[in-house]
């Protein structure tokens, strides 16, 4: 990770916490690792990938998908906020 990418992540990171997600009709948990408003950067320890998601007004996960390693996901996340 470049110094610039690390600085971006440091500004938006949060202490990791779990959030429920539905996958193939089953409730599972993924980790929120960064947040800006209702946009979150998540880590899925089952798939070993990061992704971008949104939270609705009730802090329920919606519109989420996995996109790869942290650097790639972070770049995508920063563009979306």
DSSP lists the bridge partners of residue 61 as 55
> Is the confidence at residue 12, as pLDDT, over 70?
yes
Instruction: Supply φ then ψ for residue 9, to 5 degrees.
Output: -65, -40
Q: What is the pTM of this model?
A: 0.85
CB atoms within 10 A of CB 75: 14
The count of structural domains within the chain is 1
Measure the CA–CA gap between 42 and 19, rounded to whole angstroms. 9
Measure the CA–CA gap between 46 and 14, rounded to whole angstroms. 20
For range 29-44, the mean pLDDT:
93
Q: How close are the terminal C-alpha atoms of the chain, in Å?
A: 20
pLDDT digits (tens, 9 = 90+) for 48-72: 999 999 988 887 887 888 899 988 8
Identify the domain containing residue 9 by its residue range.
3-80
């Amino acid at each position: 990770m470049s110094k610039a990418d690390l600085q971006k992540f440091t500004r938006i990171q949060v202490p990791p916490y779990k959030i429920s997600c539905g996958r193939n009709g089953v409730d599972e948990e993924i980790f929120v690792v960064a947040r800006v408003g209702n946009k979150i950067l998540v880590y899925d320890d089952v798939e070993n990938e990061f992704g971008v998601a949104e939270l609705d007004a009730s802090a329920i996960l919606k519109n989420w998908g996995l996109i790869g390693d942290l650097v790639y996901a972070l770049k995508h996340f920063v563009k979306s906020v």
